[in-house]
């Protein structure tokens, strides 16, 4: 899952849940900051370096099989 722990998930028709989350994010500074930190940490999973390393591993496995 792309969002990991860095975001909130909702059913497509959970309008009340979305509204409550938006209010919590706006009102609760520590919660908001926690999501920001988790977002930056989660984004590291998608760096170009990580992608290159994963592709290199696939090539190595293919060459050795």
pLDDT of residue 50: 86
More confident residue, 1 or 34: 34
pLDDT value, residue 26: 97
**How far apart (Å, rounded) are the C-alpha atoms in residues 46 and 54?**
11
Helix (H) or strand (E) holding 20, with range, is helix 15-27
Contact 32, 25 (CB under 8 A): yes
Segment 6-47, tens digit of pLDDT: 999 999 999 999 999 999 999 999 999 999 999 999 988 888
Band (pLDDT 50/70/90 cuts) for residue 65 is confident
> Can you read off the two tokens belonging to residue 11?
């059913």
Contact partners, residue 43, CB within 8 Å, separation at least 6: 6
Give domain limits for the chain. Answer: 15-63
* CB-based contact 4:42 (threshold 8 Å): yes
């Amino acid at each position: 899952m792309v969002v990991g722990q860095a975001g909130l998930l909702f059913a497509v028709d959970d309008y009340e849940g979305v509204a409550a989350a938006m209010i919590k994010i706006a009102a609760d500074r520590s919660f908001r900051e926690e999501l920001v930190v988790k977002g930056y940490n989660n984004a590291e999973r998608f760096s170009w370096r990580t992608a290159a390393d994963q592709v290199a591993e696939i090539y190595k496995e293919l060459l050795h099989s």
